[in-house]
Amino acid sequence: MAKVIFNEDLCKGCELCVNACPKKIIEMDLSKINTKGYHPATIKPENMDKCIACGFCAMMCPDVVITVIK
Amino acid sequence: MAVVFEKTKGLTDVPFSYCPGCTHGIIHRLVAEAMEELGVLDKAIGVASVGCSVFAYEFFNCDMQQAAHGRAPAVATGIKRVHPDKVVFTYQGDGDLAAIGTAEIVHAAARGEKITVIFVNNANYGMTGGQMAPTTLVGQRTTTTPYGRKPEVNGYPIRVSEMLSTLDGAAYIERVAVYDVKHIMQAKKAIKNAFLAQIQNKGFSLVEVLSTCPTNWGMTPVEALKWVKDHMEPYYPLGVYKNTLEEVK
């Protein structure tokens, strides 16, 4: 099963990963504010099994926040 | 579990100082990944410019040097001539390379210096607050052209890749963009080829990357990527302008 790990405190909330995800499962976590003051990107646990581990989010992320394992 | 994507060893753990959604971060990562994959990290020497990328020396996990505004190719020339076995690259923006540093870049290319230049074109001066740059498009609003760039007053934008590809010293010149995953992968290939041109002693190599500046353009990061595709790419066509490599990988 694919797993996407977000280094949340580096996220600047630009939403480029949201735009790049072909499955549209990435969203901004509005319940959290990271140390930079942004709502970090996240994938809800119930949506994680929809991930196909394409790595598009990680390739698009300008701050190297994302690690993808499969 | 196999790792599909993880942070390259070519970058340090220092967080990028760029605005949210600025594609400088993507370009940094591509350069670092290219160096790691070519196995040249321990013999690479980078030259940081002045502009938003002024702190590049904090982010790349290789030896770095900071140059005066626009003078990175001159500094890189000196480093490469003293250390011909090292892989020397500069990382410059359009205000740095195409305005104050025009003389340095043109003559470094004309001399065929065996250095690699990563040229980030975001059509304005980012760090100082979005003033007009030589690469600003006709009609584009900036803080110094509030009614849009007018050719009769401000002249025309410079196409650096086309200009430098006419010089015999240039070995590899390509223009790429990073507005979607496909183009990011092409950009990485271009950067690797540019390093290969240097490693094979072919001469001067440059990769121009069309980048975004969401903060100064007044757009969201996603809108800025679309603006690059819709407005910058037609004026700055992507492609290889010069290639003297033996084998294209």
Q: Enter the ipTM.
A: 0.95
- Whether the CB-CB separation of B224 and B191 falls below 8 Å is answered with no
Q: Spell out a b/e string for B208-238, using b for 16 or more CB atoms within 10 Å of the CB, else e.
A: bbbbbbbbbbebbbbebbebbeeebbeebeb
Which residue from B7, B20, B180 is facing A14, i.e. has the nearest CB? B20
Is the pLDDT at B248 greater than 80? The verdict is no
Whole-angstrom distance, CA of residue A55 vs CA of residue A43: 14
* Percentage of the residues of chain B whose pLDDT score is greater than 90: 97
- Cα–Cα–Cα angle for B11, A43, A1, rounded to 5 degrees: 85
Confidence band of B10 (pLDDT split at 50, 70, 90): very high
> Taking CB atoms and an 8 Å cut-off, how many pairs form between chains A and B?
77
Chain B nearest C-alpha distance from A8 (Å)? 12
DSSP notation for B25-48:
HHHHHHHHHHHHHHT-GGGEEEEE
- Whether the CB-CB separation of B56 and B48 falls below 8 Å is answered with yes
Token code pair at residue B44:
């690479």
Q: In this predicted model, what pLDDT tens digit does every residue of A35-45 receive, in sequence order?
A: 999 999 999 99
Q: Does A22 touch chain B (CB under 8 A)?
A: no
What are the chain A neighbours of B5 within 8 Å (beta carbons)? 55, 58-59, 66-68
Q: Does A20 touch chain B (CB under 8 A)?
A: yes
Token code pair at residue B16:
């990028």
- Reduced to 3 states (helix: H, G, I; strand: E, B; else coil), residue B202 is coil
Question: How many residues are present in chain B?
Answer: 249
pLDDT for B44: 97
Q: Do A15 and B221 touch (CB under 8 A)?
A: yes
What are the chain B neighbours of A3 within 8 Å (beta carbons)? 1
**How many CB atoms sit inside 10 A of residue B36's CB?**
17
pLDDT for A1: 81
Return the CATH architecture of domain B24-243: 3-Layer(aba) Sandwich (3.40)
Residue of A nearest to B188 (CA): A59
Q: In this predicted model, what pLDDT tens digit does every residue of A61-70 receive, in sequence order?
A: 999 999 999 9
Which residue from B6, B16, B29 is facing A67, i.e. has the nearest CB? B6
| A16, B29, B52, B122, B166 from B214: Cα distances, Å | 12, 19, 13, 10, 32
Q: Where are the domains of chain B?
A: 24-243
State residue A68 phi and psi, 5-degree precision. -120, 125
Q: Does B182 touch chain A (CB under 8 A)?
A: no
- Find the mean pLDDT for residues B167-176: 96
Return the CATH architecture of domain A3-69: 2-Layer Sandwich (3.30)
Whole-angstrom distance, CA of residue A15 vs CA of residue B82: 44
- Whether the CB-CB separation of A5 and A55 falls below 8 Å is answered with no
What are the chain A neighbours of B16 within 8 Å (beta carbons)? 62-64
Confidence band of B245 (pLDDT split at 50, 70, 90): confident
pLDDT for B247: 63
The larger pLDDT score, comparing residue B247 to residue B160, is at: B160
Token code pair at residue B180:
């979607």
What are the chain A neighbours of B181 within 8 Å (beta carbons)? 20, 56, 59-60
Chain A nearest C-alpha distance from B11 (Å)? 10
Centroid of chain to Cα B182: 18
Whole-angstrom distance, CA of residue B6 vs CA of residue A55: 10
Query: Is the Cα torsion angle B237, B71, B91, B201 positive or negative in sign?
Result: positive
Which residue from B11, B21, B29 is facing A16, i.e. has the nearest CB? B21
Say what the pTM is. 0.95
Q: Does A67 touch chain B (CB under 8 A)?
A: yes
Residues 6+ apart with CB under 8 A from B105: B73, B92, B97, B98, B117, B160, B164, B206
Confidence band of A49 (pLDDT split at 50, 70, 90): very high
Residues 6+ apart with CB under 8 A from B237: B175
Identify from A3, A6, A14, A54 which residue to disrupt to test chain B contact, counting B C-beta atoms within 10 A and taking the largest count.
Answer: A14
